[in-house]
Structures are given as C-alpha cells and as structure tokens.
A and B are shown apart, each in its own frame.
Chain A
Amino acid sequence: DADVTQTPRNRITKTGKRIMLECSQTKGHDRMYWYRQDPGLGLRLIYYSFDVKDINKGEISDGYSVSRQAQAKFSLSLESAIPNQTALYFCATQAHASTGANVLTFGAGSRLTVL
C-alpha cells in the first residue's frame, strides 16, 4: 500500500551510530504512530503524534526520538543505536476519531539490524 511509505526498508548499522527512519503518507490522516515488532512480543508502541505539534511517548520510548515535520511526515530517530534495537519497525496512520474511523494503516516496515 503506497499510501504509507517507509524508508529505508532495510538498514544495517553499527552500535553507536545515529539512525533515522522516515515515514510519509498520502492518506491525509492526522494521527501517526511508530511501532516496533519483535518475535513473540507483538507490536509495541514507541511514539505517536495526533497533529503536527503533538508528540507523545508510547510504552517503549527510551532510546528513541521522533519528529513530526508535517502532517504527512513522521520520522523516528535512534540517537545511538544498540544491538537490542534490532527489530522490524512499522509506521502507521489513523484517521481522526471524530470520523469514527479507528483503522490503522501500516507501512511496509523498516528492518533495522544493529551490529
């Protein structure tokens, strides 16, 4: 689904490096999310944003930061990557609750490996 685009799709980096994962969407949704997926642990929320000037921590925000540059763009940064941040990262968008639409639309995922 090209509505939510994540870059890069795959990245291998070394411990201590700064990494940015980018997400852009053409759905016009207000709400954007970053999730991390690890085998057996499901989808865990890192950060979320309900609007351009709104940033909120999720359940596992330590070691991560985000920037909502515009309604359509939400980037995730790892300031100093460590091996246990090796995971599959998903960006997702969601229409505003007033529309009655709770559905999350996920990007294709960014697989990050930290050596």
Chain B
Amino acid sequence: GENVEQHPSTLSVQEGDSAVIKCTYSDSASNYFPWYKQELGKRPQLIIDIRSNVGEKKDQRIAVTLNKTAKHFSLHITETQPEDSAVYFCAASNYGNNRLAFGKGNQVVVIP
C-alpha cells in the first residue's frame, strides 16, 4: 500500500517568515494529495489539495507543489502568523480507491 512520510517532524519559524513542509510518497499510482491542518484540541480540516495533473496550486498564503518524478509534494506557508501554529498532515491516494494514506504530521510553531 501507499506509504507517506513527512519531514521535518517539528518546524519553528519566526512570525512573518515562510514555512515549508515536504512529504514523500511511495505509490506512483497516487494522484490526489491533500493537506490537513489540526489546531490544538481540534479536528483535522482540509486546507488545500492538488491532483497529479497540475504542478502547483495556491490559495492566499498557502501553496502546494508536486513533483511526480521524485514522488514528493510540499506545503508552503508564506508570511506566517500565530494562527498558523498547528499540526499539518499530508496524505496521498489513488483516485480509484479514494482511500487516503496519511503522514505522521508536522508540528509547526510560529514564534511571535
């Protein structure tokens, strides 16, 4: 099955700086890559996703890039703010089976 790994496990950034989290996946058939954000004590919620037919997608201060050849995708957060502090999970799935495999999560801490 699909195996998704996230690096680094913890990331601290100064407010206003950028944060980048990278994930690698193992199954070349995977074609859907979402990112979920989980604030402390809350449920995970989708913040952005990308399909394999595009290389990059942006939504305000967040973006996701995909490199299918290298089998990795990254979350980019620009102009970080304290409310960006959370655990971020990447995931991958094959559109046919629709079952997501999650990474172990990255703790992002934005230092005011």
Contact = CB atoms under 8 A, between A and B. Distances in A.
Contact of A102 (B44, B93, B102): B93
A106 B43 contact: yes
B87 to A, nearest CB: 9
B43 A43 contact: no
Interface string B47-85: 001000000000000000000000000000000000000
B107 to A, nearest CB: 10
Interface residues of A, number: 20
Interface string B7-35: 00100000000000000000000001010
Contact of B49 (A31, A42, A103): A103
A45 B36 CA distance: 15
Contacts of B98: 31, 94, 97, 102
Interface of B: 1, 9, 32, 34, 36, 43-46, 49, 89, 93, 95-96, 98-100, 102-105
